[in-house]
């Protein structure tokens, strides 16, 4: 029960005894979500009638949506979840699925197994939301299962609170032919298709009466995008071919080629240079042809066209192309953004409490949204006013030090700036901006205050689109929702620096635990907190243990570990099913 995480155990017990028991009685008396759900004559899209619970609709069952659901006290809300996938997929292991190291079923968990364990009823609809209507507080959905349904299975859901966790789509940058001829690696189905396609290429290249040229073409695997997914997939494919397929296809094994195309000047740009250099060196040794500074401009059914300043335009025939150049915004999100005045943005913006800007009671998290961190300079006069209790028009350094923790809570860039400059407190910031003329005893006017904080906004960070961020956002938002009722009565949290009043919750803070880049041959690179870099076979064991521990259930943990052991004993499965 999540209550224990936020309240002391006796308080949690009291809440359970009073609040939750009342909720349980209410659900039983009113017929509640479960009973209404089981009634064949009832409209399944209706929320349970007569309960005082607020209607909470969650869109998406990926990292953000599932983390939110797992941590939410569902007895407090009338919860409905909508997603075209009735499962959660552990995306970091998708590259392993493409080569049969891990089976698809081992990395998915049915969403109903997760919701069934919750204290309150949770409705799930396997459907796609095609419109969010914030003005009328409803979402329009259509079933993604079949067309033999009345009205094509379309329905509407009203909400009091909406949690949008729709993820993102693969970004093609409108390059012609990509959607038609390339594979993406985003969903379980993509990984399964890639696995079949790799085997098809080998089987095609083994057919009699093919010219050597034709065989080579079919065995040319091109990966576009040198980010973490492209690099990991290239490494996984190389291992699959080297360790398994070359034994099964000895006559054609020497014709195989893997090319990795990157538009920038290095692979894994978000990683430390040492990791990038190691990856490039390793791929060179492995015979993976890394082409830097190449931009793909067109893909046809036979060849990929790229441009490079030195080589000009080149056409390269291929057997299979995997496109992995990052993510873009889903059309449904673009429509929502237009409607709420965010049409000029690339990604939906939320504040640090994950509330969608320009929308009441709508929250967005994960890859579909980005947090816009407020800048200190936007609020500098308000901060100055709040910090100066006497409204004297000046501030003492002590007065500022008293509220510095609150300022840092609201504007984490201040702490980051001070950390990078090895500063301990506000006096150091002042010393830095004023040099020799600095005197701690003197009172500060707003101009001096501005000058001291002028550089801190350079440390505003945009969070990356990763599972780690999405999961932490889901957990954070669930905590807010769990506390929402209590906080309505007694607001808590840091003083709101801007204006008066107090925020009910602390803003979201991301904690980075590091990132991995598996490079094949049992070697992985890791960039851990405090810029600690670890590369090699021992890091691969760290990778195994972290990914095993991060599985959402003991069932998937067991399946993933047994898949890894099966691969060691029997090798990967090469059948085309
Ligand atoms: P998703 O997990 O994509 O979930 C979106 C959900 O919305 C899905 O359930 C989808 O079915 C649903 N949905 C979509 N459209 C609709 C609609 N119209 N109506 C209703 N529901 C809808 N991150 C890491 O931190 N570490 C890694 O090692 C890592 N490896 C990765 C490897 C690969 C191959 C990929 C593709 C990604 C990897 N990521 C990794 C990134 C990570 O997967 C994403 O950042 C994460 O999935 C984002 O979570 P999300 O919940 O926002 O979106
Ligand atoms: Mg995000």
Q: Which of 108, 167, 193, 473 should be mutated for ligand 1, with most atoms under 8 A from CB?
A: 167
Our CA angle for 258, 264, 269, nearest 5°, is 90
The ligand whose atoms approach the alpha carbon of 372 most closely is 2
Best CATH choice for the domain 33-168+329-373+463-489 from the list 3.40.1280.10, 3.40.50.300, 3.50.50.100, 3.60.20.30:
3.50.50.100
What's the gap in Å between 115 CA and the centre of ligand 1?
19
Residue 473: partners with Cβ closer than 8 Å, 6 or more residues away: 64, 67, 354, 365, 366, 508
Our CA angle for 8, 9, 10, nearest 5°, is 95
Q: Where in the chain is the domain with CATH 1.10.238?
A: 376-459
What's the gap in Å between 1 CA and the centre of ligand 2?
27
Question: What is the pLDDT, as a whole number, of residue 44?
Answer: 44
Best CATH choice for the domain 376-459 from the list 1.10.150, 1.10.3470, 1.10.238, 1.20.1540:
1.10.238
CA–CA dist 275, 285 (Å, integer) = 15
The binding-site residues of ligand 1, defined as CB within 6 angstroms of any ligand atom, are: 59-65, 82-85, 91-92, 94-95, 128-129, 165-167, 185-186, 229, 332, 366-368, 465-468, 470
Classify residue 529 as exposed, middle or buried by CB count within 10 Å of its CB (0-12, 13-18, 19+). Answer: exposed
Which letter does DSSP use for residue 472 in this model? H
CA–CA dist 384, 307 (Å, integer) = 54
Which letter does DSSP use for residue 234 in this model? H
CA–CA dist 533, 539 (Å, integer) = 10
Contact 414, 407 (CB under 8 A): yes
Q: Evaluate the CA torsion angle 35, 38, 41, 42 in order and state its sign.
A: positive
Judged by DSSP in three states, 154 sits in: strand
Ligand 1 atom at minimal distance to the Cα of residue 92: 30
Q: In the block, which residue shows the tokens 């150049």?
A: 325
Q: Where in the chain is the domain with CATH 3.50.50.100?
A: 33-168+329-373+463-489, 178-328+513-570
Q: Evaluate the CA torsion angle 246, 249, 250, 252 in order and state its sign.
A: negative
Looking only at the bridges linking them, the beta strands covering 289-291 and 295-299 are unpaired
Judged by DSSP in three states, 254 sits in: helix
Q: Which of 166, 333, 369 should be mutated for ligand 1, with most atoms under 8 A from CB?
A: 166
The ligand whose atoms approach the alpha carbon of 164 most closely is 1
Contact 481, 76 (CB under 8 A): yes
Classify residue 5 as exposed, middle or buried by CB count within 10 Å of its CB (0-12, 13-18, 19+). Answer: exposed
Contact 48, 36 (CB under 8 A): yes
Ligand 1 atom at minimal distance to the Cα of residue 191: 34
Question: Does pTM surpass 0.85?
Answer: yes
What's the gap in Å between 514 CA and the centre of ligand 2?
17
The residues of the chain scoring below 70 in pLDDT are 1-51, 146-151, 389-392, 440-441, 485-504, 576-577
CA–CA dist 479, 493 (Å, integer) = 13
CA–CA dist 231, 475 (Å, integer) = 29
Contact 318, 220 (CB under 8 A): yes
Phi, psi of 414 (to 5 degrees): -65, -45
Classify residue 239 as exposed, middle or buried by CB count within 10 Å of its CB (0-12, 13-18, 19+). Answer: buried
What's the gap in Å between 187 CA and the centre of ligand 1?
8
Question: What is the pLDDT, as a whole number, of residue 41?
Answer: 35
- Residue with the nearest Cα to atom 45 of ligand 1? 466
What's the gap in Å between 84 CA and the centre of ligand 1?
13
Q: In the block, which residue shows the tokens 């673009």?
A: 334
Q: In the block, which residue shows the tokens 């990914």?
A: 547
Q: What is the largest CA-CA distance in the chain?
A: 91
End-to-end CA distance of the chain: 42
178-328+513-570: CATH number: 3.50.50.100
Question: What is the pLDDT, as a whole number, of residue 576?
Answer: 66
Residue 505: partners with Cβ closer than 8 Å, 6 or more residues away: 353, 479, 480, 483, 487, 492, 493
Looking only at the bridges linking them, the beta strands covering 348-350 and 369-371 are parallel
- Residue 103 CB coordination number (10 Å): 17
What's the gap in Å between 447 CA and the centre of ligand 1?
45
- What angle do the packed helices 188-205 and 228-240 form, to 10 degrees? 40
């Amino acid at each position: 029960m999540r209550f224990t995480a936020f309240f002391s155990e006796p308080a949690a017990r009291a809440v359970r005894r009073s609040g939750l028991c009342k909720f349980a009685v209410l659900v039983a008396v009113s017929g509640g979500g479960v009973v209404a759900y089981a009634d064949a004559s009832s409209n399944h899209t209706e929320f349970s009638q007569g309960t005082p619970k607020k209607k909470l609709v969650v869109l998406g069952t990926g990292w953000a949506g599932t983390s939110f659901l797992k941590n939410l006290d569902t007895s407090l809300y009338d919860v409905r979840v909508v997603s075209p996938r009735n499962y959660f997929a552990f995306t970091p292991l998708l590259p392993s699925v493409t080569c049969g190291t891990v089976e698809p079923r081992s990395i998915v968990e049915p969403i109903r197994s997760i919701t069934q364990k919750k204290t309150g009823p949770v409705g799930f609809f396997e459907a796609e939301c095609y419109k969010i209507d914030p003005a009328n507080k409803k979402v329009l959905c259509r079933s993604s299962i079949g067309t033999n349904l009345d009205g094509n299975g379309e329905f509407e859901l009203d909400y009091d609170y909406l949690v949008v966790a729709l993820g993102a789509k693969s970004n093609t940058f409108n390059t012609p032919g990509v959607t038609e001829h390339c594979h993406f690696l985003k969903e379980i189905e993509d990984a399964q298709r890639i696995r079949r396609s790799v085997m098809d290429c080998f089987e095609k290249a083994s057919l009699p009466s093919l010219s050597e040229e034709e065989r080579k073409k079919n065995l040319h695997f091109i990966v576009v995008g040198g980010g973490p997914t492209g690099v990991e997939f290239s490494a996984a494919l190389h291992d699959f071919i080297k360790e398994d397929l070359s034994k099964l296809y000895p006559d054609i094994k020497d014709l195989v080629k893997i090319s990795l195309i990157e538009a920038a000047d290095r692979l894994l740009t978000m990683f430390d240079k040492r990791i990038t250099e190691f990856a490039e060196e390793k791929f060179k040794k492995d015979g993976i042809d890394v082409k830097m500074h190449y931009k793909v401009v067109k893909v046809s059914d036979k060849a990929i066209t790229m441009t490079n300043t030195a080589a000009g335009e080149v056409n390269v025939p291929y057997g299979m192309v995997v496109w992995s150049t990052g993510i873009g915004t889903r059309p449904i999100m673009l429509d929502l953004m237009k409607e709420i005045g965010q049409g000029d943005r690339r990604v939906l913006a939320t504040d640090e409490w994950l509330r969608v800007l320009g929308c009441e009671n709508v929250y967005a998290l994960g890859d579909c949204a980005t947090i816009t961190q407020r800048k200190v300079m936007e609020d500098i006069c308000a901060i100055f006013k709040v910090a100066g209790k006497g409204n004297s028009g000046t501030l003492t350094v002590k007065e500022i030090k008293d509220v510095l923790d609150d300022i840092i809570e609201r504007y984490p860039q201040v702490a980051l700036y001070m950390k990078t400059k090895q500063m301990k407190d506000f006096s150091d910031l002042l010393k830095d901006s004023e040099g020799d003329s600095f005197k701690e005893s003197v009172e500060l006017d707003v101009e001096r205050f501005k000058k001291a904080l002028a550089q801190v906004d350079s440390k505003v960070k945009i969070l990356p689109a990763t599972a780690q961020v999405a999961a932490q956002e889901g957990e954070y938002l669930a905590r807010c929702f769990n506390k929402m009722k209590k906080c309505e009565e007694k607001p808590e949290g840091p003083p709101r620096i801007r204006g008066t009043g107090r925020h009910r919750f602390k803003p979201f803070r991301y904690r980075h635990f590091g990132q991995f880049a598996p490079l094949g041959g049992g070697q992985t690179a890791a960039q851990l907190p405090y810029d600690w870099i670890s590369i090699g076979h021992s890091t691969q064991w760290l990778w195994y243990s972290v990914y095993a521990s991060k599985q959402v259930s003991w069932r998937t943990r067991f399946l993933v570990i047994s898949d890894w052991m099966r691969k060691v004993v029997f090798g990967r499965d090469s059948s085309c099913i």
